[in-house]
Amino acid sequence: MFAQILGETTCGIDGVQILVEVDVSNGLPSFDLVGLPAMAVRESKERVKAALRNSDYPFPMTRITVNLAPADLRKEGSGLDLPIAIGLMTCGRILEPEKLENKVFIGELSLDGRIRKVSGVLSMIMDAKKCGAQEVYIPQANAAEGKLIHGIDVYTVATLKELVEHLKGKNTLTPLPKENILQNNNRIYHVDFADVKGQLVARRALEIAAAGGHSILMVGSPGCGKTMLARRLVTILPPMTEAEALEVTKIYSIVGLLPQADSVMLERPFRSPHHSISGSALLGGGSTPRPGEVTLAHNGVLFLDELPEFERSTLEMLRQPLEDGEVSISRVRAAMTFPSKFILCAAQNPCPCGFLGDSVHRCSCKQSEIDSYKRKISGPLMDRIDMQINLSRVEFSELKTKEKGESSAAIRERVVKARLLQQERLEALGMHCNAQMGRSEVVKYCQLDAAAQNVMERYFNMLNLSARSHDRILKVARTIADLAGSENIEAVHLAEAIQLRTSVRQ
């Protein structure tokens, strides 16, 4: 007997359809699983055998061969348990092959026949829809993800017996209702810019960073508010679109970090890895590449606190994602490209003791120590950070004032208006913010009048700026002009962009 059942697995952050071919023939009892299965897939033989028996279905005591096609793709995860079991029951004439056409089965089997949750279901459903499937059967624990994709019927099942009865027409299940992804997009943040005292320059710089998607480095003595400000950056970013929310949700579903209470990631990610993180954990890696922190921060913020404390080799890996908005990883088993369009927000002290230039404390570092500390961040990496600002100590009078600062909601309104202008300008090019512009877009949309051109020329020569710095200053100036509602970049916008770029000199 022979049967073909459709299943799904994941490759990188995308789903891949797998054709599960089951052959049951005469011979000594054996169970061969071929098609480049990983260890978790190989172990499905024992899970499937026990699940069938404990669900009161016979397990064929003959020669069984299961092939997972395409055979040259490594199969990861435990979601192929269910299609293997369905294939065996089809060979045993418990199920009719005609009733399984255009149906995809995803799920891990427990020994008693229950169907357990698997990671990456959202990507698998999206791929099943793309491949033309009409129905998808997933574990009940993955129901929240099943509601997000329109245009395909998604059923949830709790046990193998429940699924078989449905397929035989004895106990009909109903497909999941579809959910409007953005219907509950009223996120409540537990932090707010209204709590921040002083630091007007930093607040302004973070508003510009949010409006244009620009990277930023904050340098200041301990306790001046760098981390406090960084954690509030996500509160002023515009709400995610449906496409962005699905993209982020897909990534978090793949790595198994999707919150239990949420069906979709509506809040932009904020990732803050410790400085001891390895390069593969930051960019992604493994024998079969998995997403790293730069991908988990996609469409959100990657905050690197105490930037010089990171390994220099690890920081150098940020060059490609900062420049290209994606990261490519090649291993023996696979080569993957992951999205990594994030806002880099970094913070550091001005010197090892932290008090260089402080108005109260005296710096105790030697000049050689200060130089060594600054050299931990390379020039090419610094060149890729759009804004580099100094933070000063917060005065007692600022801390004790009862006057509240501007709220995140008020700042976010301005950011959203600026982003709308950028989308009108760049959406046809597949871009969403000024930071994503390439050289040709900078030439087209960041033209300067005579006064602004003179300012740019004077500072370019005075500060010995690179061509990359030149373009990044123009992109920040374009964002400042958008926040001001100005169609053209004026000299005042350019001057502010230059100041925010060059106030910290390595």
80 within domain boundaries? yes
Q: What is the dihedral of CA 427, 429, 433, 436, to 10 degrees?
A: 170
Q: How far apart are CA 261 and CA 272, in angstroms?
A: 22
359 within domain boundaries? yes
Q: How far apart are CA 487 and CA 484, in angstroms?
A: 9
Same domain, residue pair 250 and 372? yes
205 within domain boundaries? yes
Ramachandran area for residue 68 (φ above 0: left; ψ -120 to 50: alpha; else beta): beta
Letter for the amino acid at 36?
L
Specify burial of residue 396 (Cβ count, 10 A radius: 0-12, 13-18, 19+): exposed
- Span 156-185, average pLDDT: 87
Same domain, residue pair 240 and 94? no
- Which CATH number is 357's domain given? 3.40.50.300
Residue 498 pairs in a beta bridge with none
pLDDT value for 103: 96
Same domain, residue pair 275 and 208? yes
Same domain, residue pair 244 and 338? yes
Is residue 327 within 8 Å of residue 370, measured between CB atoms?
A: no
Domain span at residue 477? 437-506
- Which CATH number is 161's domain given? 3.30.230.10
pTM as predicted:
0.89
Q: What does the radius of gyration of the chain's CA atoms come to, in whole angstroms? A: 28
pLDDT value for 183: 65
Residue 326 pairs in a beta bridge with 339
Predicted confidence (pLDDT) at residue 506 exceeds the cutoff of 50: no
Same domain, residue pair 289 and 160? no
Model confidence band, residue 401 (pLDDT cutoffs 50, 70, 90): confident
pLDDT value for 184: 62
Predicted confidence (pLDDT) at residue 505 exceeds the cutoff of 60: no
Reported as a single tens digit per residue, the pLDDT across 442-497 is: 999 999 989 999 999 999 999 888 999 999 999 999 999 999 999 999 999 999 99
173 within domain boundaries? no
What is the three-state SS of 18-50? EEEEEEEECCCCEEEEECCECHHHHCHHHHHHH
54 within domain boundaries? yes
Q: How far apart are CA 322 and CA 384, in angstroms?
A: 7
Q: Identify the DSSP state of 435.
A: G
- Span 268-291, average pLDDT: 91
pLDDT value for 448: 92
Q: How far apart are CA 117 and CA 139, in angstroms?
A: 6
Predicted confidence (pLDDT) at residue 116 exceeds the cutoff of 60: yes
Q: What angle do CA 188, 294, 437 make, to 5 degrees?
A: 90
Percentage of residues of the chain with pLDDT beyond 90:
74
Compute the half-sphere exposure of residue 485: CA atoms within 13 Å on the CB side of its CA: 3
Q: How far apart are CA 286 and CA 290, in angstroms?
A: 6
- Span 109-114, average pLDDT: 95
In the chain the first and final C-alpha atoms are separated, in Å, by 72
Same domain, residue pair 404 and 441? no
Q: How far apart are CA 461 and CA 448, in angstroms?
A: 17
More confident residue, 422 or 427: 422
178 within domain boundaries? no
Average pLDDT over the chain, rounded to an integer: 91
Contacts of 271 (CB under 8 A, 6+ apart): 293, 296, 297, 300, 301, 302, 303, 342
Same domain, residue pair 404 and 347? yes
Please state whether beta strands 115-116 and 216-220 pair in parallel, antiparallel, or not at all (unpaired): unpaired
What is the tally of structural domains in the chain? 3
Going by C-alpha positions, the residue among 167, 169, 143 that lies closest to residue 155 is 143
Q: Identify the DSSP state of 372.
A: H
Q: What angle do CA 327, 469, 341 make, to 5 degrees?
A: 25
Same domain, residue pair 221 and 355? yes
Same domain, residue pair 398 and 474? no
Own/partner contacts of 160-166, CB < 8 Å, gap of 24 or more, are 160/51, 160/52, 160/55, 160/57, 160/82, 160/85, 160/109, 160/113, 160/114, 160/115, 161/55, 161/56, 161/113, 163/82, 163/86, 163/105, 163/115, 163/137, 164/55, 164/57, 164/89, 164/94, 164/95
Model confidence band, residue 262 (pLDDT cutoffs 50, 70, 90): low
Domain-ending residue, one of 354, 388, 408 = 408
490 within domain boundaries? yes
pLDDT value for 400: 81
Is residue 102 within 8 Å of residue 133, measured between CB atoms?
A: yes
Reported as a single tens digit per residue, the pLDDT across 188-226 is: 788 999 988 888 999 999 999 999 999 999 999 998 989
Reported as a single tens digit per residue, the pLDDT across 321-344 is: 999 999 998 887 778 899 999 999
Same domain, residue pair 9 and 45? yes
432 within domain boundaries? no
Same domain, residue pair 354 and 482? no
Ramachandran area for residue 20 (φ above 0: left; ψ -120 to 50: alpha; else beta): beta
- Span 41-70, average pLDDT: 94
- Span 113-120, average pLDDT: 94
In three-state secondary structure terms, 342 is coil
Q: How far apart are CA 356 and CA 335, in angstroms?
A: 45
Domain-ending residue, one of 393, 408, 423 = 408
Reported as a single tens digit per residue, the pLDDT across 88-110 is: 999 999 999 998 999 999 999 99
In three-state secondary structure terms, 389 is strand
Same domain, residue pair 149 and 283? no
